[in-house]
Amino acid sequence: MGEAFEGKLPEKFEERMRALLREEYGAFAESYKRERTLGLRLNILKVDPEVFFREFGDDFGLRPVPWCREGFYYDKEARPGRHPFHEAGVYYIQEPSAMAAVALLDPRPGERVLDLCGAPGGKSTHAGGRMMGQGLLISNEIHPARVKILSRNIERMGIKNAVVTNEEPARLADYFPEFFDKIVVDAPCSGEGMFRKDESARKEWSPENVRLCAKRQTEILESAAKMLRPGGRLLYSTCTFSPEEDEVQIEGFLERHGEFFVVKVPENVRPAELSPGRGEWGTKRSPALSDTFRIWPHLSEGEGHFMALLEKEAPKDSLKTSKEKPKKKQANQRQDKEVKKAQKLFAEFIEEAADAKELPGLGRLLLFGDQLYCIPREMPDFDGLRVIRPGLHLGTVKKGRFEPSHALALALKGCQVKKAIRLEPEGRELFDYLSGKALEADDDGRGWVVVCAGDYPAGWGKLAGGLVKNHYPKGLRLPL
C-alpha cells in the first residue's frame, strides 16, 4: 500500500462530487483517508506472469489486479522501482486503474495500433506487450519533453515494433486516414483521479480547467475517429471523474459520429470491480453510457479511471480490413554500399552474439547517418513526420565494425543470448555494473556479452583479458 492522502481537496471539486454522488459521497471522501494502492505491470515480452508471481510474488508482496492479467498490486516496502528488474524492463510501475484501458482494448499481434497521447508510456508499453512484437505500434506524444520519456520507456521495455512520433493529432490524421485497427486515446484531463498522489493536480484544478480539457479532448477524438478503419475499435480513457470529460464527452462524440457505437462487454468477461458508467450523467441520460466503465477509489483498489470502448461500424459492402496495404508507400531502403555494408556487419554480429531466428528480420533495416534501425514492416513512408524513434535501434556502424545499442540488449530474451553473464538480481556485482564499473570474468575470450539481472538482459559489456568493459549507458547509470 502507498501513503494516505494528507492534503485538502479543492472546495469546488468537493461541491461537484457531493452533488454528483449524493449518498455515495461519504464513502468517496472517506477513501482519501486510506493508503492508496500501488501497482506494477509485468512485461509479457520478457516474463510469464504466473512464473514471476510464483518466484518473486512474496518478495514484492504481489496481489493480482482483477482487471489486468499481467497487473499486480505491490507493497510499498518492496520499492520495485529501485530493483534491477526495473532497469531490465521486466515490469512497468503503473497505477492499477490505468491498466484497465489497454486490457479492455486488447490489442493483438499483427494489428496496427495507435496510442495518440502516449507519454509517459504506460498504455503504449502495455499495448506493445500484448502485440508480442508483431504488427505496428505508433506511440505519439505532442510535448517534446514528454516524448523523450516515452521513447526511453519504449526502449526499456524492449518493444521492437514501435515508432515514436512527436506530432499534433490533426497532422497524424491527415497522414493516416482509416489506417489503424485499434486506437488508444488516454486523453489529457483535469486529473481528479490523481489528487491523492499528485499535489500539482489538486493545485491546478478548477472548473475552468475542466472545460478547457473537455474542449481539447473533443478535438483529439475527432482526429482519432479519422484514423480508425471501419470495424476498428477506439478506447477513450481519462483519470478524472468529471462528466464533462467522460460521459458527456462520449455522448457528444456519438451524436456527431453515427458510425460509432459503444461496445457492450459481456458481464462474464468484465471484472466485477469495473463499475458501469453513469448513464444519468449524460445530458440526455443515454442508456449507451451505462456500457462505459468507471473505477472508483471507494469501490475498488484504484485511484479512478473512466473508459469507453467504441467501435466504428463497417459498411456492409466494405471489404476493408487491417491487412489492406497502407495508403502511403513503404519507406524506400537506400540500396547503396553503406546500407549493404551495415546489413552485413549486423548479420555477422547477430550470428556471433544471439540466436538470429528469434530476432527482427533484416528486410527493413535502415541507416540514418551511422545509426542502424529495424523499421516495422507495416510502417508507411514517414517523410515529413516528426519521428523520435523510427523503430528498434540496433546499433552504430563505424570504422568497419558494428557496436550494439542498449535498446537491442533490452529487446533480447535471456534464452536468445549466446554469450551472457548472469548476475544475482540483488547482488553487489550487478549494482557495480549498473553503476558503470567493469566486471571481472573467468572467461579469457573476447567480444560482446550481455549482462543479465538473473535471466533478464540489462545491457552490454565487452569481454577482453578476463575483464568485462562496461557499456551500460552513462545517462542511466546508478549513483555510486
Residues noted as catalytic:
239
CA 158 to CA 406: how far, in whole Å?
10
Distance (Å, rounded) from C-alpha 55 to C-alpha 51?
A: 6
Q: Does residue 390 come out as left (phi exceeding 0), alpha (psi in the -120 to 50 range) or beta?
A: alpha
Q: Which residues pair with 464 in a beta bridge?
A: 467
- Give how far the C-alpha of residue 459 lies from the chain's centroid of Cα atoms, to the nearest Å: 21
Torsions phi, psi for 366 (to 5 deg): -130, 145
CB 12 within 8 A of CB 208: no
For residues 112 and 95, give the distance between their C-alpha atoms in angstroms, rounded to a whole number.
26
Nearest alpha-carbon partner for 378 in 167, 109, 119: 109
Amino acid identity, position 164:
V
Q: C-alpha grid cell for residue 433?
A: 555494473
**Which three three-digit cell numbers place residue 151?**
521513447
Paired residues of 140 in beta bridges:
165
CA distances from 174 to 125, 141, 162, 235, 327 (A): 25, 16, 20, 20, 11
For residue 373, give the C-alpha cell. Answer: 534501425
Specify the amino acid at residue 110: G
For residue 120, say if its preceding peptide bond is cis, omega within 30 degrees of 0: yes
As to burial, measured by CB atoms within 10 angstroms (0-12 exposed, 13-18 middle, 19+ buried), residue 152 is: middle
SS3 314: coil
Q: What's CA 270's distance to the chain center, in Å?
A: 22
Per the CB < 8 A criterion, the answer to whether 444 and 423 are in contact is no
The CA–CA distances, whole Å, from 64 to 41, 52, 68, 72, 154 equal 10, 12, 8, 4, 24
- Strand ranges, E, within 13-90: 39-42, 63-64, 71-73
Phi first, then psi: what are they for 329, rounded to 5°? -70, 155
Q: 299 is written with which cell numbers?
A: 469501490
Residue 85 is placed in which grid cell? Answer: 528488474
The rounded distance, in Å, linking the Cα atoms of 391 and 388 is 9
Alpha helices in 192-311 (DSSP H): 199-204, 207-227, 247-256
- Tell how far CA 125 is from the center of its chain: 2
